[in-house]
Every structure is written in C-alpha cells, then in structure tokens.
C-alpha cells in the first residue's frame, strides 16, 4: 500500500515541477514565442515586425492593411497584448525574421501555435501564418510579394462561404525530377471557428516527422488527425504529393473517324418544303392605318428659334454653331407629324429554325480517351510532411475580413510541452478570468501538463484526484507563495505515507 502511495507522491511531485515550469520556464534556443508584451507601442512593433512595401504593376501597394499593437481587456501581469489588423477588406501582411532558424530533422516534431480573436462579424477573410525559408534580412521582408518562393508551410483558419470555411494546411514540396516547388494543400480541413466572436481561439499544428503524422487542434481539442500518411498522401492533398503513376498519353490524338455523338438527327425526318425561316418574327399591323390628320411633310423636331449663339462661341475654335433641337409645336396629339410607323404584331408566317428530332446514334463509339502510360516523372514521396529547408522567418499573410482582429502568442518550435505550457499560461488563463471556460473544459486542457498534446490534450475522461485539485488551487496563488505551497504539499504527502 505504501509503495502505491509513494508512487503517487512522486507523480504529484512531477506535477508540481510542471506547475513551476508553467509559471516560469525557458524556451529552447531554436523555439520562437511572441506574446507582444515587450512592445511599448506600434512604432516599437514596426522595428521588429515588418510590412512589405512591394507594389503591383500600377504602382499601388500590394498589402494595404495596417497593423498596430493593442492591449486586450485584461490588465496586470496576465499576458493580453496582441497584434491587431486595423483595416477591413484588404490584403494583409507582416513578418518577422527568426533570430535562430528552425531546422526540422527526420526525428523532430514541429509545432505551430497561435491565438486569434475576431471582434467584428466576418464575411470573408483569413488569418494564415506562413513559415518561410527565404527571409534572410529586413530587405527580404520589405520586398516580399505573393509570388516569392520560399514558403515552406501554410497554417491557419480561412473563411469565405460558401467556398471555404476551414483550418487550412499546406506544405511545400520540391519535385525530385523537375525541381519545381509547389504547395500541397490538405483537402479535408476542420471548420475554422472564425465566426465565433465570443472568445479567442487557439490553433495548434503538430507534425511528427518520425511517424509522418499530422494533427490540427482548435482550443486544445483535436479537430483533425492523420497518422502515417505516406501511404495515403495521394488522397488527402491537392495536388497530390507524389506524382501519378499512370497518366494519359497526350501525344495521341483522337482519330478523325471517332464518333462520340450519343444522339444524332433522325435521318428519316425531312424538312417540309413550305418551312420558311426567312420571315421576320414581328411585322407592321396591317389593321393600323395612318390617321388622316397625320402630316409626314412636317418634321417632328425643329431648331429652337429662341436659341442664340453664346457670346464666347468662336467658330474658328468651336466650329459652326448649331441651335439645339426642340419639338415642333405644329405636332400634337390631334395632328401628328414625322414619318408614320404602324405598331408591330407577331408574324403569323414566322417559323423557328427547323431542327429534326433526335435519335440514338447506332455508330456511337463512346467518349474518346487517350491511352494511359507510365508517368516518366513519377516518384514515390515517402516523407510527405518533411520540411526540407530551414525556417528563417514567419509571415502573417491573408485577406483581412474583419477590422480589429487580434493575433497573439505565436509559437514556432519543436517541443509540444512548450506549446502546451504557453497555452495554459495564456489562452486557458485568460478565458478562465473572462469566465469563458467552465471548470471541466479548463481541467481537460490543464490536466495534460505532463502528457503530450497529441496523446492527452483532448482526453474527454480526464479524472482529477485529490492532488490534482490541490495543484490547480496552487495555480491561483501568487508566484511568491508557490514555494510555500509546494513545501506544504510535499510535507503532507510524506506524513501521509509514514503514518498509514
């Protein structure tokens, strides 16, 4: 029995360690976390986060959206600053050079995580983050344009119904034969939640390079998971990551005598001899004669006799002056004038273009398709999720569909626990303070301090023992009381083991 309690003690001491780590922890050297707390104002922000100055063919800036640093509704020690898009319905872009590039090996786990809060209704827009390998300095950021190469990964929510409403994911792959780069997009994306303005949303991407597995989480819950996708990469990405093995032979043309008409005109039906297609659809009504009072010799409009040439008119410069036209006063309802035209009626002799009835073509040979051949550019991509180049910078680039949309707590690194702790310190803590998370939701997220995000972050049956509840209470303590609380907890646990 004491062995079991001893095991429980060490388990909870590990949890205490996680609590301490959660309160004050150090990131890996190649991890990046931006909570925007260090920036005093927007001017300070623009020294580190750069907007491209690239222009289009007309000389106008490609990215018209403006950015600012903003303080959220919470004040005090809790992180609540963020990057805010100020402009609606405009192309938005801002980027940052990583101090330490992220190099993802075959055994690493890449994690991308950030938080988005939409305050206004959104009709069409997104919030993509892009990991870029070609950003080496500030000048590269200032000249960045949509056609620039080097985007290694795209992740983030996109909403533009009815076409799009999902968390998009794309990875750059270089064709091993043609050496051309192309972004491969995940075909089935989980719903974006961008229209939910009640709270901020946390988006997490986890790529396990060792198992070639992919997970997308929203608010700490698994929204989509794909395990060992090397065997099914052709079906879940568009365009497919591996080229097709069999392709149509485009060098073979359809034979001239190939009949692919399903229906043909009935050869037994002949156009009638009296079928006249030359008759017009409408003709003058023969029963609408010209009135006796109508005088065609009088013009309907005449020059205005009261009009005079302006004093400034110069015929050498403006040409001959011609008075404006007015309706002839001699023309009235009783005495019409001008050319007489009868009203139009439908021509009884009119015939539509003659078309014979259709019958099934007895010579139908089917829809022609070229023969298939083995693709000379085929190869099998066994590592579809491999990030092939160093990640040197991150870019936020999308169509801004909502003003005052806030982006915060951007994390890019190779440690799931770091992203997990950041989520607990920021998203969970903030929503708890704002009463947007109930106790059960909070525990489901925070009770995963030691487990991997991919294993336990989303457990729907997480149980809370006595020590778990004590630790969650400790989280509410000020930092100055953490040490006292931990010592007290450890002492109580030893006493419980010794005297039972």
The mean pLDDT value for 124-136 works out to 91
**Residue written as tokens 């659809």?**
281
Tell whether the model's pLDDT for residue 456 goes beyond 50. Answer: no
pLDDT at 11: 39
- What confidence tier does 445 reach under pLDDT thresholds 50, 70, 90? low
Summarize the confidence of residues 435-441 as an average pLDDT.
Answer: 55
C-alpha to C-alpha distance for 160 and 401, rounded to whole angstroms:
9
pLDDT greater at residue 161 or residue 379:
379
Q: Which is more confident, 433 or 291?
A: 291
Distance in angstroms (rounded) separating the CA atoms of residues 325 and 283: 31
Instruction: Work out the mean pLDDT of the chain and round it to a whole number.
Output: 82
Per residue in 54-99, pLDDT (tens digit) is 998 888 899 989 999 988 766 555 567 899 998 888 999 999 999 9
The pLDDT score that the predictor gives to residue 485 is 58
pLDDT given at position 9: 43
Low-confidence winner among 285-289, 437-441, 459-463 (lowest mean pLDDT): 459-463
The single-letter DSSP state of residue 424 is: I
pLDDT at position 437 is 53
CB 263 within 8 A of CB 361: yes
Greater pLDDT, 381 or 438 = 381
pLDDT higher for 291 or 108?
108
pLDDT band at residue 362 under the 50/70/90 scheme: very high
pLDDT band at 368 (very low <50, low <70, confident <90, very high): very high
Instruction: Kindly tell me the burial class for residue 115, based on how many C-beta atoms sit within 10 Å of its own C-beta (0-12, 13-18, 19 or more).
Output: buried
pLDDT at 486: 57
Cβ(293)–Cβ(334) below 8 Å = yes
Q: Which of 41-50, 273-282, 341-350, 461-470 has the lowest mean pLDDT?
A: 461-470
Give whichever of 159-168, 306-315, 411-420 has the largest mean pLDDT: 411-420
- Predicted confidence at residue 441, as pLDDT, reads 52
pLDDT of residue 73: 66
Weakest-pLDDT range from 87-101, 231-245, 265-279, 401-415: 231-245
Is the pLDDT reported for residue 118 higher than 70?
yes
- The single residue listed with the structure tokens 């990405």 is 237
pLDDT of residue 54: 92
Distance CA 406, CA 396 (A): 12
Q: Which long-range contacts (CB under 8 A, 24 or more apart) does 326-333 make?
A: 326/301, 326/302, 327/300, 327/301, 327/302, 328/298, 328/299, 328/300, 328/301, 328/302, 330/298, 331/298, 331/300
pLDDT in tens, 146-183: 888 899 999 999 998 888 899 999 999 999 999 999 99
The pLDDT value given to residue 256: 94
Query: Is the peptide bond prior to 239 cis by the omega test (within 30 degrees of 0)?
Result: yes
Position 177 scores a pLDDT of: 93
Query: Could you say which of 1.20.59.10, 2.60.120.200, 3.40.1280.10, 2.60.40.10 is the CATH number of the domain covering 31-249+383-437?
Result: 2.60.120.200
Q: Judge whether 309 and 351 are in contact, CB under 8 Å.
A: no
- Does residue 211 have a cis bond before it (omega within 30 degrees)? no
Average pLDDT over residues 269-284: 89
Average pLDDT (311-326) is 90
Residues pairing with 405 in the sheet = 85
CB 69 within 8 A of CB 41: yes
pTM: 0.67
What residues does each domain of the chain span? 31-249+383-437
Q: Are 494 and 486 in contact (CB under 8 A)?
A: no
| Per-residue pLDDT at 283 exceeds 50 | yes
Average pLDDT of 270-297?
88
pLDDT at 493: 61
Burial class (CB in 10 A: 0-12, 13-18, 19+), 147: exposed
Mean pLDDT of 282-301: 88
Phi (first) and psi of residue 318, to 5 degrees: -100, -10
Task: Quickly state the pLDDT bin for 465 (edges 50, 70, 90).
Answer: very low
If 0-12 CB within 10 Å is exposed, 13-18 middle and 19+ buried, where does residue 477 land? middle
Q: What is the pLDDT of residue 7?
A: 40
By the 8 A CB rule, do 117 and 82 touch?
yes
Q: Environment class of residue 244 by beta-carbon count within 10 Å: exposed (0-12), middle (13-18) or buried (19+)?
A: middle
pLDDT above 90 as % of the chain: 47
Q: Quote the radius of gyration of the chain (alpha carbons, Å).
A: 37
Higher-confidence residue of 231 and 267: namely 267
């Amino acid at each position: 029995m004491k062995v079991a309690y001893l095991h429980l003690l060490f388990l909870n001491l590990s949890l205490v360690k996680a609590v301490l780590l959660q309160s004050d922890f150090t990131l890996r050297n190649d991890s990046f976390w931006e909570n925007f707390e260090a920036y005093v104002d927007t001017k300070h922000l623009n020294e580190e986060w750069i907007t491209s100055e690239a222009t289009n063919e007309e000389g106008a800036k490609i990215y018209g959206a403006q950015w600012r640093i903003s303080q959220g509704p919470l004040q005090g020690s809790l992180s609540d600053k963020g990057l805010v898009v100020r402009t609606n319905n405009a192309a938005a872009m801002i980027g940052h050079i990583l101090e330490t590039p992220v190099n993802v090996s075959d055994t690493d786990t890449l994690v991308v995580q950030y938080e988005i809060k939409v305050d206004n209704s959104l009709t069409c827009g997104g919030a993509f983050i892009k990991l870029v390998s070609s950003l080496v300095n500030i000048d590269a950021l200032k000249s960045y344009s949509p056609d620039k190469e080097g985007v290694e990964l795209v992740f983030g929510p996109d909403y533009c119904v009815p076409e799009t409403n999902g968390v998009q994911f794309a990875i750059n792959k270089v064709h091993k034969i043609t050496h051309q780069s192309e972004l491969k997009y995940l075909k089935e994306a989980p719903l974006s939640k961008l229209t939910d303005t009640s709270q901020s949303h946390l988006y997490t991407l986890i790529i396990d390079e060792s198992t070639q597995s992919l997970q997308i989480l929203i608010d700490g819950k698994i929204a989509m998971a794909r395990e060992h996708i090397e065997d099914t990469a052709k079906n879940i990405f568009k365009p497919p990551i591996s080229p097709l093995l069999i392709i149509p032979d485009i060098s073979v043309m359809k034979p001239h005598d190939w009949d692919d008409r399903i229906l043909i005109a009935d050869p037994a039906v002949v156009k009638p001899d009296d079928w006249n297609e030359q008759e017009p659809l409408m003709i003058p009504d023969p029963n609408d004669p010209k009135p006796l009072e109508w005088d065609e010799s009088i013009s309907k409009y005449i020059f205005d006799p009261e009009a005079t040439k302006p004093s400034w008119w110069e015929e050498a410069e403006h040409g001959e002056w011609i008075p404006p036209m007015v309706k002839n006063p001699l023309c009235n309802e009783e005495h019409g004038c001008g050319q007489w035209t009868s009203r139009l009626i439908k021509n009884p002799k009119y015939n539509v273009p003659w078309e014979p009835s259709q019958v099934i073509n007895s010579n139908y040979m089917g829809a022609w398709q070229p023969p298939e051949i083995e693709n000379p550019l085929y190869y099998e991509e066994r590592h579809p999720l491999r990030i092939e180049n160093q990640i040197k910078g991150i870019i936020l680039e999308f169509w801004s569909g909502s003003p005052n949309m806030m982006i915060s707590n951007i994390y890019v690194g190779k440690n799931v626990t770091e992203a997990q702790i950041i989520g607990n310190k920021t998203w969970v803590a903030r929503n708890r303070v704002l009463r947007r998370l109930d106790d059960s939701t909070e525990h489901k997220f925070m009770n995963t301090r030691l487990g991997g995000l991919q294993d336990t972050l989303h457990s729907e049956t997480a149980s809370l023992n006595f020590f778990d509840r004590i630790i969650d209470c400790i989280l509410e303590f000020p930092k100055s009381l953490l040490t006292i609380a931990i010592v007290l907890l450890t002492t109580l646990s030893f006493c419980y083991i010794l005297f039972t």
